[in-house]
Amino acid sequence: LAKTTQPISMDSYEGQEVNITCSHNNIATNDYITWYQQFPSQGPRFIIQGYKTKVTNEVASLFIPADRKSSTLSLPRVSLSDTAVYYCLVGAENSNSGYALNFGKGTSLLVTP
């Protein structure tokens, strides 16, 4: 399994753009990059997934450089409700036993007024 490294914590003010970078130097060819969000006392929730270049949905954007050894989750104009833990995961699509995900410790984002 590809190991991921992301900052333990980040702080931001409301309305700012937040970028959380994840390193995954040993990502495999078949691996996708997936981000989850977790609020206190809840299970993680899928945010976005990508393989290369850029992916955007209604919640976030995911930027993946050509070498795929890192990725950046971008949250535009954060609000207080974006305060949560964000997990970066790397794993192979359509792989049952091979997709045992390592969530790690995640990045704790605190948004303040």
Partner 1 sequence: DVKVTQSSRYLVKRTGEKVFLECVQDMDHENMFWYRQDPGLGLRLIYFSYDVKMKEKGDIPEGYSVSREKKERFSLILESASTNQTSMYLCASRSGGGNEQFFGPGTRLTVL
Interface positions with partner 1 (CB under 8 A) = 32, 34, 36, 41-46, 49, 87, 91, 93-94, 96-97, 99-106
**Cβ at position 54, least distance to partner 1 in Å:** 18
Distance, CA of 50 to CA of 70 (rounded, Å): 12
Question: Smaller CB distance to partner 1: residue 13 or 46?
Answer: 46
- Count CB atoms within 10 A of the CB of residue 107: 21
Query: Which pair of tokens denotes residue 77?
Result: 């104009």
31-48 in b/e form (b: 16+ CB < 10 A) is: bbbbbbbbeeeeebeebb
Minimum distance from residue 38 beta carbon to partner 1 (Å) = 8
Please identify, using beta-carbon distances, which residue of 34 and 70 lies nearer to partner 1.
34
* Rounded least distance, CB 77 to partner 1, Å: 25
Cβ nearer to partner 1, comparing 1 with 78: 1
Rounded to whole angstroms, the Cα distance separating 91 from 94 reads 9
Nearer to partner 1 among residue 81 and residue 96 (C-beta): 96
What does the block give as tokens for 21? Answer: 């970078």
Tell me how far, at minimum, the Cβ of 69 lies from partner 1, in Å: 20
